[in-house]
Amino acid sequence: MSTSVSAGLSPQKLDLPVLLLLLAGLGVMFGPTAITLANTVWVKDEQGHGPIIFAVVLWLLYGKRQAFADIVARPKLGAALWMFVLGFLLYVVGRSQAILMFEVGSLIPIAIGLILFFKGSEALRLCWFPIFFLIFMVPLPATLVIAITTPLKSAVSAVASSILYTLGYPVGRSGVILTVGPYQLLVADACAGLNSMFTLEALGMLYMNLMNYKSAARNVALAILIVPISFVANIIRVMILVLVTYHFGDEAGQGFVHGFAGMVLFIVALALILLVDHGMHAMARLAKAVRK
């Protein structure tokens, strides 16, 4: 049976009608999900990174297309079936109960099942990172976001206001509301929440994959350090918004600059990730030299 599947359904011999039928089936299944996401979580600053994550996944898979096609098909039908069952159950529960985490998350086991069905475990090892990266597209549960975001916002507000006050600015704080001169600013979830940290973690993971680091210890350490890096980047973002509002008025702080501050967040975070990465590399070289 494995030989038959390998010969008839492998990507090298997969005919156009079968491929179009497969794509149409996925489109029918996840098309309504995409529409729901486009009208809900993807229009919000907190989880607007979803389409970007999906585009990156497609780009990563496209880059592996030749290596994928060259793999000799050795389908794992049993494992593929279990993945399909898990994926469809998650999809049915998520769609029927409006649980986006399950509905979107079902794409991951279904994608794994397709790879195992057509090619086998070697192809899954080749594509493991793009499939893993889909996790960052899955909407986080609202209760988890609220539970973690609230103390994060308070901490970011406290640190940002303290730094600006030390620098001589008339900044006060009441919870997550900052007062600077005659203006008041509310530190929103997008400025200092779990979702921004989740997005920055995705950015760091992508960076490590593109750099093709082989050391598991280095990858784990950098992934952990991305958490405080994102915290610092969020503080810098809030400080920029406070300073713009103070010097140029509330309209400037809530206009173009407010949206641009989101880009600043990622630029600062990426710069810090590069700095920490180079620091870790220098320390590793120094330790190696000392051992010699």
Q: 287 and 203 in one domain? A: yes
The confidence score (pLDDT) of residue 240 equals 86
Active-site residue (options: 127, 173, 237, 285): 237
Last residue of a domain, one of 119, 137, 155: 137
The confidence score (pLDDT) of residue 280 equals 84
Residue 78: exposed, middle, or buried by beta-carbon count in 10 A (0-12, 13-18, 19+)? exposed
Distance CA 111, CA 52 (A): 18
Q: 152 and 283 in one domain? A: yes
The single-letter code of the amino acid at 121 is: S
Last residue of a domain, one of 120, 137, 154: 137
Q: Which residue stretches of the chain are H helix?
A: 2-9, 16-39, 50-63, 65-70, 77-97, 100-105, 107-118, 121-126, 128-133, 142-166, 189-192, 194-211, 216-248, 250-254, 256-291
**Residues of the chain scoring pLDDT < 70:** 1-16, 18, 45-46, 189-195, 251-262, 292
Predicted TM-score of the model (pTM): 0.77
The confidence score (pLDDT) of residue 220 equals 86
The confidence score (pLDDT) of residue 253 equals 60
The confidence score (pLDDT) of residue 191 equals 61
User: Is 127 labeled as catalytic in the residue annotation?
Assistant: no
Give every CB contact of residue 166 below 8 A, 6+ residues apart in sequence.
Answer: none
CA angle 123, 108, 59 (to 5 degrees): 65
Distance CA 278, CA 33 (A): 40
Q: 115 and 19 in one domain? A: yes
Give 89-100 pLDDT, tens digit per residue.
Answer: 999 999 999 899
Q: 42 and 125 in one domain? A: yes
Q: 146 and 133 in one domain? A: no
The confidence score (pLDDT) of residue 5 equals 43
Q: How far is CA 167 from CA 155, 195, 209, 234, in A?
A: 19, 29, 39, 18
Q: 229 and 91 in one domain? A: no
The confidence score (pLDDT) of residue 3 equals 42
Contact call for residues 138 and 105 (beta carbons, < 8 A): yes
Q: 161 and 112 in one domain? A: no
Q: 149 and 55 in one domain? A: no
Q: 287 and 148 in one domain? A: yes
Last residue of a domain, one of 87, 120, 137: 137
The confidence score (pLDDT) of residue 109 equals 96
Active-site residue (options: 74, 191, 285, 291): 191
Q: 285 and 181 in one domain? A: yes
The confidence score (pLDDT) of residue 152 equals 85
Q: 128 and 206 in one domain? A: no
User: Is 191 labeled as catalytic in the residue annotation?
Assistant: yes
The confidence score (pLDDT) of residue 254 equals 66
Contact call for residues 65 and 119 (beta carbons, < 8 A): no
Q: 132 and 162 in one domain? A: no
State how many domains the chain has: 2
Domain of 33 in residue numbering reads as 2-137
The confidence score (pLDDT) of residue 257 equals 56
The gap between the terminal CA atoms of the chain, to the nearest Å, is 56
